[in-house]
Amino acid sequence: MIKVCLANNHPVVHFGVKSYFKDHDDISIVANVGNFLMVRDILLTKEIDVLILDLELEGLASIFEVKNILKNFPKTKIIIFSDLSEQIYAPNAIKAGVSGYVSQKEKLETLGQAIVKVNQGKIIIDETVKKNLALIAKQNKSERLYRKLSNREVEVLRYLSDGKKNNEISKILGLNEKTISTYKLRLLQKLNVTNLVDLVNKAKTLEIV
């Protein structure tokens, strides 16, 4: 039996997933958590084969925290189960070391298939993500600018788009405020804009945030 922990902010998601896999032959939901701080506690006390993780989980500020989980608990596979833009977050998540990315728009049957494959050691990406990435590869240079962004730059851009100031972002990510300023300058250069308003608008146009 594949032991699964679901980490998600929304009770309705917990209820739906738990109900769907209640009588599953191969998958057992053995833990449900509503914030990132609880994830580590669960992994320390229970044997978890697959962690189903929402990138917007409360307390999860950075993809680098996900990398740390993978480093400290190498036997646990991670599947990102999120409704964030697949075009940008799926590649970054896979790069960080997760074993799969499934959109919350997909049927739970798809999630179940992903859990089984990931537990077998496979790296899977949702078919919708593959199609989106294929389309992006055909787009012109300006439409593919986001591919130049690092995981950290994407995170900073997301918080800037949410209206957060440099000092607020530095506290969330645990970085020096000057470092955030540096990331901001890089974003302006990479997305070829000169101010924050245009930066945010460009990011939304490219569906980065």
pLDDT in tens, 61-109: 888 899 999 999 999 999 999 988 766 678 778 878 999 999 888 899 9
Is residue 36 within 8 Å of 11, Cβ to Cβ? Answer: no
**Number of residues that this document lists for the chain:** 209
Is residue 112 within 8 Å of 134, Cβ to Cβ? Answer: no
Maximum Cα interatomic distance, the chain, rounded to a whole number of Å: 56
pTM confidence score: 0.70
CATH T-level fold of 2-137: Rossmann fold (3.40.50)
Tell me how far apart the alpha carbons of residues 18 and 31 are, in angstroms, rounded to a whole number.
Answer: 10
Per CATH, the architecture of 151-206 is what? Orthogonal Bundle (1.10)
pLDDT in tens, 169-186: 999 988 999 999 999 998
pLDDT of 177 reads 92
Helix (H), strand (E), coil (C) string for 68-106? HHHHHCCCCEEEEEECCCHHHHHHHHHHHCCCEEEECCC
Q: Give residue for tokens 């130049």.
A: 148
Is residue 149 within 8 Å of 157, Cβ to Cβ? Answer: yes
Give the list of residues 6+ apart from residue 168 with CB closer than 8 angstroms, or none: 159
Give the list of residues 6+ apart from residue 151 with CB closer than 8 angstroms, or none: 63, 64, 92, 95, 96
Helical pair 36-45 and 63-72, crossing angle rounded to 10 deg: 10
The two tokens of residue 151 are 């995981």
Tell me how far apart the alpha carbons of residues 83 and 89 are, in angstroms, rounded to a whole number.
Answer: 10
| Domain regions of the chain by residue span | 2-137, 151-206
pLDDT of 125 reads 77
Is residue 76 within 8 Å of 51, Cβ to Cβ? Answer: yes
pLDDT in tens, 34-70: 999 999 999 999 999 999 999 989 998 888 899 999 9
